Amino acid sequence: MASQSVGLSLYEAARAMGVSFSQESLPIDKTVHANGLDFHYLEWGDPGKPDILMLHGVSQQGHSWDFVSLALSDRYHIMALDQRGHGDSDWAPDGDYSIEAQQTDIDAVVDALKLDRFTLMGHSMGGRNSYVWASRHPNVLDALVIVDTGPQGQRAGRDRIQRFQQLPDELDSFEEFADRVQEYTGRQRDQVVGALKHSIRERPDGKWSWKYDKVLRTPGARAPGWESGRLWECVQKIDCPTLVVRGERSDIFAEETMNRMRDEIPDCAIATIPRAGHLVQGDNPADFLVEAEKLLARVYNSGA
């Protein structure tokens, strides 16, 4: 087996990033069967506390929310889902990763987990899935947090991500993947290694590869997305308190789009997180949490 560095523990990495947390808690790995698939999710906190469902971006998984989940788990019940084709959830047997299929998944997961009033928090692909879902379910959500995504994206960022996804995806060692991710993100080696173990796996032949369906990184294999006009219609139907966040260095989500979302959603706050690119909650979780907890404190009448 190829050698693998350990990297920082979650707690060490969180402290290094300035994240405050009251206890060194860890999630429970759980699986729910919904819409004909098995979905893995990470459960944090007491089920008696307010529920938060978290949705990751493309190529990510529920662990992309670990810093945020750790900080909030003393006051909220968190379920960080691996969406279809990602992490430890089933891959779509028919290769269907359309918005429609993902919406049906969320419907089924929400039903299976018996969620009623809850907060939905999503990043990138998960953020789009979140605001589309919110538009389809009025009077259900307590709050909505949309992270670095909107009805219109910037081509430079899409092209950058696509170039990264199309690099060779079968490497000989964990360390080769760590080199690639460190170069791509600019993060310290110990931070990269600590997070990377959730994103790749060693195959029976000794090669290492990503833990998400190859269809998702194959040009032309995915279903086309919705037109921006249709997505703006979804944004206009959101009826719950909402926070829209962008990274200061994001090349995906323009400030102009964020401002328009604020104007289109009746109860909407916006925030630009300094020292953060597209993966806001990973780049600067401490400042992201400041903004998210303002909304949560208002909605749940709790201290931020």
Residue 181 lies in a domain: no
Residue 92 lies in a domain: yes
Confidence of residue 285 (pLDDT cuts 50, 70, 90): very high
Residue 50 lies in a domain: yes
Mean pLDDT estimate for the chain: 94
Residue 169 lies in a domain: no
The arithmetic mean of pLDDT across residues 55-61, rounded, is 96
Q: What are the backbone dihedrals phi and psi of residue 247, each rounded to the nearest 5 degrees, phi first?
A: -85, 140
Burial 127-140 (b: 16+ CB within 10 A, else e): bbbbbbbbbebeeb
Residue 302 has pLDDT above 80, yes or no: no
Q: Per residue in 26-40, pLDDT tens?
A: 999 999 999 999 999
Residue 191 lies in a domain: no
7: left (phi over 0), alpha (psi -120 to 50) or beta: left
Residue 264 has pLDDT above 80, yes or no: yes
Residue 56 lies in a domain: yes
Give the list of residues 6+ apart from residue 154 with CB closer than 8 angstroms, or none: 250, 251, 252, 253, 254
Contact predicate 102/37, CB 8 Å: no
Contact predicate 250/156, CB 8 Å: no
Q: Name the percent of the chain lying above pLDDT 70.
A: 97
Domain count, the chain: 1
Give the list of residues 6+ apart from residue 184 with CB closer than 8 angstroms, or none: 164
Q: What is the pLDDT of residue 166?
A: 83
Residue 128 has pLDDT above 50, yes or no: yes
Residue 53 lies in a domain: yes
Residue 100 has pLDDT above 50, yes or no: yes
The arithmetic mean of pLDDT across residues 107-130, rounded, is 98
Confidence of residue 274 (pLDDT cuts 50, 70, 90): very high
Residue 222 lies in a domain: no
Q: Per residue in 140-155, pLDDT tens?
A: 999 999 999 999 998 8
Tell me how far CA of residue 28 lies from CA of 48, 77, 147, 278, in angstroms: 16, 12, 24, 27
Say what the pTM is. 0.95
The arithmetic mean of pLDDT across residues 186-192, rounded, is 85
The arithmetic mean of pLDDT across residues 154-176, rounded, is 89
CATH number of the domain that 50 lies in? 3.40.50.1820
Query: Which residue range(s) make up the domain with 61?
Result: 18-154+228-300
Residue 260 has pLDDT above 60, yes or no: yes
Q: What is the pLDDT of residue 1?
A: 36
Tell me how far CA of residue 259 lies from CA of 124, 193, 244, 255, in angstroms: 17, 36, 9, 6
Confidence of residue 304 (pLDDT cuts 50, 70, 90): low
Alpha helices in 155-284 (DSSP H): 155-165, 174-185, 189-196, 228-236, 255-264, 280-283
Q: What are the backbone dihedrals phi and psi of residue 73, each rounded to the nearest 5 degrees, phi first?
A: -70, -15
The arithmetic mean of pLDDT across residues 262-276, rounded, is 98
Contact predicate 136/103, CB 8 Å: yes
